[in-house]
Amino acid sequence: MLSRAQKRLQREYEEMTKSYTEMFQVRIKDDSMMTWEVSFVGAQGTIFAGEPYTLQFKFNPNYPIESPEVIFLGRYPEHEHVYSNGYICLSILYDEWSPSMRVSSVVLSIQSMLSSATHKSRPKNDAQFSSYANGRSPKSFNWIFEDEKC
């Protein structure tokens, strides 16, 4: 029998595979539906145009009450809110999460964040944070969102 989180995820998956096939591809990585990979390409007319990226979503049984853990896999965009370990500094993934949000809205927000960039750079504390964070969930940190900088 499916849990409440799994039922919600099943509905979201069906919506995404019908409505967003031109924007991104979704793969469920396990039978429980609790780990997804969402792939997309940087938007045309941006500094990330044509560059392929993959996000990993890990859901917990309290989804959508609690946010999923979202990180980049493989190739990480060189963006001031994306660390070289794939962690993303974006308030909707942490403090500003709302149960009304969906996987598709998170992906669209991340695409928008990338599209608004005017130059490629890592966060100022990238090396220090990435080595410190190794092996820990991005949700285990107290992110500070000041002036849209992390």
Report the catalytic residues: 89
Tokens 């964040």 belong to: 113
Report d(CA 100, CA 63) in Å as an integer.
11
Report d(CA 38, CA 88) in Å as an integer.
15
DSSP 139: G
Whether the Cβ atoms of residue 85 and residue 69 lie closer than 8 Å to each other: no
* Token pair belonging to 26: 């979704």
Contacts for 22 with CB less than 8 Å, ≥ 6 apart:
none
